[in-house]
Structure 1
């Protein structure tokens, strides 16, 4: 008993020490955390290529080439287009606010008695435009931030160059690393730790590989649909709605409201509102009947509230590294809580064993009453 208590204190001290080391090393852990995330996401693809008789290095090279294409496509295509749409949104803010003032404000006043001049819309518009013009766009703000110091430039470039290198080597040796880690687990706890690790991997993969795929697919569907309708902010609204769709119905509601307002301001007719409703209706049907069953299945992922809390808490404690580590830690904690709950439900503290014992006794008594052993039962 004493050894068990000492082992528990040893594990607790190890966890605290690991967290403190992550806190101290968080400024240099970003490329390693990003590389580990990419390696975890794309390891199944490399394993699949190995099943097609390719060696590990060649499989990783093919996967790494695919990752590079995806990253460059995002950098070269999505970011400039997204910046143009954000700039257009900032320029058209007076139109959106004017529409809200003419349509929404009277309804709020009639229904809830809210005053029309509750906030100064013009002042808010000028404030947003001033900040955006001062920043000069996403690219310029990034460049102005990194050019203030030569050391900042070197650090930023080193992190950027380290990410592909770390990703390649981690992905190539991922199976070896996981095997070596499993060998470090004490044998008396191996079965329990392996079960918890497998459950945590199932939960995390259900969210990262499954839910992220659903989010990107929905963002693509919404973007293409709104672009076909003719909405100028199709990429901004579509991808925004897709990326926050991990919270059930939130992405649809936000995207639908933004799409309807954009259609009203841009076209001012009912037809385009109807088209926007059709786009998001098709997206919901595809999510419910195709995307979620195909990409996520019946695996239990992280609860949306747990995801939000993990990301915010990790970012508050450890910065960007905490954002990346928050989800894996949340998956492990959720699995530990689930296993702890199961053990508690079957423990003496909960009284389950006594309940089972009493139930067995009652069944035994009923069995004896229905099948007497003295031979005086029914003929």
Structure 2
């Protein structure tokens, strides 16, 4: 056992920088787990600044002065944030409340559909199973309606937290962009002066994660916008709510698309019935998903090492179990970061020297 551990230590931790980097990663992980909720605005601001830095860098390469680039990109970010808070968010919330108001009708229609299934497929579906499903659906819809009714009273702390985010995040994003060199220089002073391994890993992580995070931001906007336009053209109800869900679903490949297809199909079925209109809605939705997976993703992530589907599922389960919804949302970027670190990690293949025997 000692020989195995000694071999692993020689293979992966023979470099002094590898040991220091391991301590940094472990300390950072523990710090985020313990204080992540408290520092959520700072973490969100850092992620947003990381995304916007790509636009600043591209403008600099085009000859735009850095100060002008930072101010211009920051103003675009403020415009998008204001549009989301005062345009999209109220519209989505209105559609959520309207959907909750139609819950009784949806339940009645669901019951009518379910009651026909035992007669049509008696060997596959029993009346008891239909009753059980109906009770579960009714309970979940009732809980959702009750939550929406009590939202105004029970969510005052959440609204205060949202106001804090709205004020603090833009301020911190601006300073992260403006003082990026100063902040990185301050962190560099804490590290060893000679750090080729850390610089190599930083370059790999920056390349992989930057391309992934910025690509996902563009993918969310394109897929969500295309879905909204298509659903509005087809007369699909709750188009803003569904397009937001479809856009966010691309953050979790495979799983997100499969989950979001259920509400899209259910609302389309209840709105148009089983007919030509419903089929057109699902065909258009399938075309959007197909173009996203086969055209848009290869274009946006050509420089990113793709994760295996099994690795994606494991990452969603693991990080979701640790951090809940935020863990699910950031599971793929975190998994991409880990893969980039492991890809650049030094591995010494030569066996360790034999241990000296003590006489």
Query: Normalising by the residue count of structure 2, what TM-score does the alignment of the two structures yield?
Result: 0.76
Residue number in structure 2 paired with 1:295: 300
Partner of 2:84: 74
- Separation in 1 of the partners of 2:290 and 2:138? 40
CA distance in 1, matches of 2:258, 2:159: 40
Confirm whether residue 117 of structure 1 aligns to residue 125 of structure 2.
Answer: no
- State how 1:38-117 maps to structure 2 within 5 Å: 38-90=48-100, 91-92=102-103, 93-98=106-111, 100-102=113-115, 109-110=122-123, 113-117=124-128
C-alpha distance after superposition, 1:211-248 (max 9, x if no partner)? 33223322222232122212213333333233223454
- How many correspondences in the alignment? 338
1:201 shift after superposition: 1.9
2: CA distance between counterparts of 1:14 and 1:255? Answer: 38
- CA apart distance, 1:33: 0.5
Identify the residue that residue 370 of structure 1 maps to in structure 2: none
Q: Is the 8 A contact 2:111 2:134 kept in 1?
A: no
| d(CA) in 1 for partners of 2:277, 2:159 | 47
**CA shift for structure 1 position 266:** 1.9
Cα separation, 2, equivalents of 1:248 and 1:20: 27
Residue 142 of structure 1: how far off its partner (Å): 6.3
Structure 1 unaligned regions, length at least 5 = 350-379
3-state SS of 1:117 partner: helix
Deviations 1:57-98 (A, max 9, x none): 332222121111111222222222222333343324314523
CA-CA distance at 1:103 after TM superposition: 5.4
Partner of 1:212: 217
Aligned to 1:375: none
Displacement after TM superposition at 1:159 (Å): 4.4
Whether 2:178 is the aligned partner of 1:172: answer yes
Q: Larger Rg: 1 or 2? A: 1
Report SS of the residue matched to 1:299: coil
Matched, 1:224 2:229: yes
The one-character-per-residue Cα deviations of 1:139-198 (angstroms, maximum 9, x if unpaired) are x72663335xxxx876664444221111110011224433554565435532x2222222
Alpha-carbon distance, 1:199 to partner = 1.7
Rounded Cα–Cα distance in structure 2 between residues aligned with 1:131 and 1:310: 30
Q: Which has the higher contact order (CA 8 A, sep 6+)?
A: 2
State the alpha-carbon separation in 2 of the partners of residues 127 and 324 from structure 1: 27
Let me know the Cα RMSD of the aligned residues. Answer: 3.8
Indicate conservation of the 8 Å contact 2:316/2:331, yes or no: yes
Give me the whole-angstrom Cα distance separating, in 1, the residues matched to 2:58 and 2:274. 50
The CA deviation at 1:208 is 1.2
**3-state DSSP of counterpart to 2:80:** helix
Structure 1 equivalent of residue 6 of structure 2: none
Once the two structures are TM-superposed, the CA of residue 300 in structure 1 deviates from its matched residue by: 1.8
Match among 226, 234, 239 for residue 239 of structure 2: 234
